[in-house]
Amino acid sequence: MGGSTILKPIVSKTFCSSSETMFMVRKRPNVINGGGFVVMNLGQKVVFSVDGCGILGAKGELIVRDGDGASTLFIRKKGGIVQALSFEKRWKGYLMDQYEGTPSKLVFSLREPIRSCIAVNTAIKVSIAVPKEHKDWDYEVRGSFMDKSCTINDRRGDVVAEVGVGLMKSKELYYVLVKAGYDRAFVVGIIAILDNIHGESTRC
């Protein structure tokens, strides 16, 4: 008999599933409703949506909402002179306080390498903001998000999620397969940042 799936919450255990989950991501046109994208299950029900600068009116800021439209994650690109002089740009993801409607607890950060490194598919590192054994990074993005052919892996190399186009052959509509136990909101947050880094639907 197989053991039960271990849940690995980062945003919340409510976004973890004991089974593998397939989602479809559809970009929203900037000219119609401010851009961003929606994440649907196979029944075409929206389970997440992401707003970028077309809706928020600010560059380098993203909001991940759940299927009911409640703000779940606020993501911001770190700024300042230290950032400008750095070889890396850093994004930070915060839980949203459901009562105040403001960012509260930091849950993860993502290091965006310089543009020339992205061109050669350097792995993008992600760190979670809880006490952990490894101080450097916990997850990484491998492959090409621009080509919709990449994976999110943990430090051991296990696949957390896969991004691809399958038979659709369209970068406007692609799939995300989240492995059992992993936090789906966390995965969507990473995809939102990748979308913005590559100048896609969340970026003006």
* Domain limits, the chain: 13-197
Terminal CA-to-CA distance of the chain, rounded, Å? 51
Whole-number pLDDT of residue 108: 96
What CATH topology corresponds to 13-197? Porin (2.40.160)
- Tens digit of pLDDT for each residue in 140-198? 999 999 999 999 999 999 999 999 997 766 768 999 999 999 999 999 999 999 999 99
Give the residue-averaged pLDDT of 107-131.
75
pLDDT at 4: 77
Predicted structure pTM score? 0.90
Cβ contact 109:126 at 8 Å: yes
